[in-house]
Structure 1
Amino acid sequence: MNSVQQQADLPSVSSGTTTGITAKKQAEDPQDRFLKLLVTQMKNQDPLKPLDNAEVTSQLAQISTVTGIDKLNSTLQQLVSSTDDSRSVEALEMIGHSAFVPGKSISLEGEGAIAGIELEQSVDQAIVTIFDSSGIAIHTKTLGVQPAGVSTIGWDGATDSGAKAADGDYTFTVTAKQGDKEVKVNTLSFGTVNSVSHGDLGTHLDMGNKLGLVSLSDIKQVF
């Protein structure tokens, strides 16, 4: 059998196999290269000035540290991936539910509208002011003692003039005090989760044209 025939009879190596071998070789390269360099260094060391035990131990410790860091990074990546998957599942369960998210919009439909506030501490009073699309204040409501955390506020659609506001989108602000000290208030808008998307920037929830895409971490309360 001639050489041409022998070559033809040799089993072919698939590109996938070659890729797998290359990937494995690349993964093993750092440690292999280090050990080869160390062995070469020991073989070619000056007999009159050999490497001492402390130096050899130090170099072995270095490769051990690098290997440990690589394994730690791999483990952290797996944990992050697992957490992302868990949060995505959590987000999917919110579809069809309503939630409070940071915002200043409040929608009046039929009998009334709801929004929310988030306080770092309890307050003696809170004042809610609602504005129309032109930015004109149409209703002011004073609330009594409010607890720390997330609370719901309601509006029946009545204006300060006594008329009933038309259904639609409005905005609101809230000021709060504990004694004479003003306390920061985070206003919360109310909306429904329509869909969920997951990308490089994390998990986001589509809450319609008014609230748009909201990060999962911005969800304050789900109903």
Structure 2
Amino acid sequence: MTTVSNNVAPSSLVASMNSSRPASGDSVSETQDRFMTLLVAQMKNQDPLNPLDNAQVTSQMAQLSTVTGVEKLNVTVQALQESYQASQSLAAVSMIGRGVFVPGSDIALQEGKAIFGVEMTESADEVTVEIRSAAGQLVHTIDLGAQSAGNVPLAWDGKTDSGATAKDGSYTFNVKAVRGGEEINVATGLSFGEVASVSNNAQGTKLHVAGIGAVQLSAIREVI
């Protein structure tokens, strides 16, 4: 028979119960059973001259209700999280083989063709894109003129400002936006790549994009 010393106050039952809980956690019913076992044992072993106070027992029962309620909520949230992750995985798998735009400043020129883009968080009077070689040399400038908020897909045919054809390889680009004659920070570069595979881990669902690497599903700005 489980015994509890009569010098254990009723308010300590939940604390005692929680301290003895296995690290992996118990079910709600096991939590309730453990509490009732401790309470009944304490009442059997109470000092007749100093019986348990009804108000304290009532308060302890209220605390048990709170504990079990929280545990039920945790179970529900866990189930919702698993369902959400499963939905994310299904959505991500459907992107395999598709082209996506993600925040970045890299351009891959292949067979004289390259795709990239610009994300505008606000409108601008003038937007300019500068493409540079791996050594940082300016290769080509694209004048996009005035742009409103939204994504702007772009294509580069590999032609330089001098009219020559750039070699296939890796390039970078930066975006400048001007409004009212002043440069403003409302434009972000978008790199382009094809989704090769999908993985799941503790950090969530990730897409593995060719030429870019692993990116979060939330980083996708556009799919084509």
CA distance 1:26–1:122, shift in 2 (3 Å): closer
Question: 1: CA distance between counterparts of 2:27 and 2:194?
Answer: 49
Question: 1: CA distance between counterparts of 2:69 and 2:150?
Answer: 43
Is the partner of 1:166 in helix, strand or coil?
coil
Structure 2: any 5+ residue segments left out of the alignment? 1-23
Offset from partner CA, 1:111-133 (integer Å, 9 cap, x none)? 53221111221111111000112
Tell me the equivalent position of 2:53. 52
TM-score, scaled to structure 2: 0.80
Question: 2: CA distance between counterparts of 1:131 and 1:171?
Answer: 5
* C-alpha deviation, 1:203, in angstroms: 1.4
Paired residues of 2:195 and 2:209 also in contact (CA < 8 A): yes
* C-alpha deviation, 1:27, in angstroms: 6.4
Does residue 1:200 correspond to 2:202, yes or no?
yes
Is the partner of 1:162 in helix, strand or coil?
coil
Paired residues of 1:123 and 1:183 also in contact (CA < 8 A): no
TM-score, scaled to structure 1: 0.80
Offset from partner CA, 1:46-79 (integer Å, 9 cap, x none)? 4444333322211001111111111111111111
Paired residues of 2:120 and 2:149 also in contact (CA < 8 A): yes
Tell me the equivalent position of 1:33. 34
CA RMSD of aligned residues (A): 2.2
Amino acid at match of 1:190: F
Amino acid at match of 2:32: Q
Aligned length: 199
Is the partner of 1:193 in helix, strand or coil?
strand
Which moved further from structure 2: 47-56 or 97-106? 47-56
Question: 1: CA distance between counterparts of 2:158 and 2:222?
Answer: 23
Does residue 1:142 correspond to 2:143, yes or no?
yes
* C-alpha deviation, 1:201, in angstroms: 2.3
Which moved further from structure 2: 107-116 or 34-43? 107-116
CA distance 1:48–1:91, shift in 2 (3 Å): same
Question: 2: CA distance between counterparts of 1:137 and 1:107?
Answer: 16
Tell me the equivalent position of 1:188. 190
Question: 2: CA distance between counterparts of 1:156 and 1:66?
Answer: 64
Amino acid at match of 2:197: S
Amino acid at match of 1:197: S
Structure number with larger C-alpha Rg: 1
Question: 2: CA distance between counterparts of 1:44 and 1:214?
Answer: 61
Question: 2: CA distance between counterparts of 1:220 and 1:51?
Answer: 63
Identical columns (%): 50
More helix by share: 1
Structure 1: any 5+ residue segments left out of the alignment? 1-22
Amino acid at match of 1:201: Q
Question: 2: CA distance between counterparts of 1:133 and 1:122?
Answer: 30
